[in-house]
Amino acid sequence: QKEVEQDPGPLSVPEGAIVSLNCTYSNSAFQYFMWYRQYSRKGPELLMYTYSSGNKEDGRFTAQVDKSSKYISLFIRDSQPSDSATYLCAIARIKAAGNKLTFGGGTRVLVKP
Amino acid sequence: NAGVTQTPKFRILKIGQSMTLQCTQDMNHNYMYWYRQDPGMGLKLIYYSVGAGITDKGEVPNGYNVSRSTTEDFPLRLELAAPSQTSVYFCASKKDLKETQYFGPGTRLLVL
């Protein structure tokens, strides 16, 4: 079983719709959770990170963590064509050697004008 | 700050050739990482370093080597290129444990 599972998509939505992305993980030792956005032929860039269960908002983005279910989500409100990218979840244990991240496979999102 | 820079952007290698992928960061970050990303897959950790002179293996280290003689540089060496090493390679760095990783733009490598 993979440590982090993420639906590869692609996920196609009309402009203005809510985009809903999620990941599941298998190890309850993971303590912090991130979402990265990756445009085509670019490096990943951090969107959101959180250490705790619950919701965290940043503009149009909301990250949600449910540690009891080992489930994390990212919601994008009022989606724009510029949100078209691959979204990667990443999780980590703070005290792991080198503080390594474990990535999901990424979900491709296409927002159509 | 330039952030994390990687060279070259793209390279074609023949089977058995060697090359070094360069990574430099100007943010005085302690932690540095090398990942590979295959099509439709997430990033897999190859090697990482927690400071100058200290390196360790990640998830997929076979066929690669690294060194960290300075804080700024973390080169990745491929000794005998194989088609299975065709991938996009990303270098990343971060300051300390609770900070986020900053990624470079990547190096596309094709081994034929």
CA nearest to B37 within chain A? A105
By the 10 Å C-beta count (0-12 exposed, 13-18 middle, 19+ buried), B90 is classed as: buried
Is B103 an 8 Å CB contact of chain A?
yes
CA nearest to A35 within chain B? B100
A48-62 pLDDT per residue, tens:
988 888 899 999 999
Residue-level pLDDT at A101: 87
Instruction: Please tell me the distance in Å from B46's CA to the nearest CA on chain A.
Output: 11
Q: Does residue A37 register a pLDDT over 90?
A: yes
Asked if A105 and A90 count as a contact pair (C-beta separation under 8 A), the reply is no
Contact A103 B43 (CB under 8 A): yes
Asked if B89 and B35 count as a contact pair (C-beta separation under 8 A), the reply is yes
Chain B partners within 8 Å of A106 (Cβ): 40-42
How many C-beta neighbours within 10 Å does residue A48 have?
Answer: 20
Is A10 an 8 Å CB contact of chain B?
no
Chain A partners within 8 Å of B43 (Cβ): 44, 88, 101, 103
Is B30 an 8 Å CB contact of chain A?
no
Is A98 an 8 Å CB contact of chain B?
yes
Tally A–B CB contacts below 8 A. Answer: 55
d(CA A11, CA A109): 5
Which one is predicted more confidently, A21 or A94?
A21
Q: Are strands B102-103 and B64-66 parallel, antiparallel or unpaired?
A: unpaired
B63-104 pLDDT per residue, tens:
999 999 999 999 999 989 999 999 999 999 998 777 788 999
Residue-level pLDDT at A27: 85
Asked if A51 and A4 count as a contact pair (C-beta separation under 8 A), the reply is no
B 59-88 → A contacts, CB under 8 A: none
Q: What percent of chain A has pLDDT over 70?
A: 95
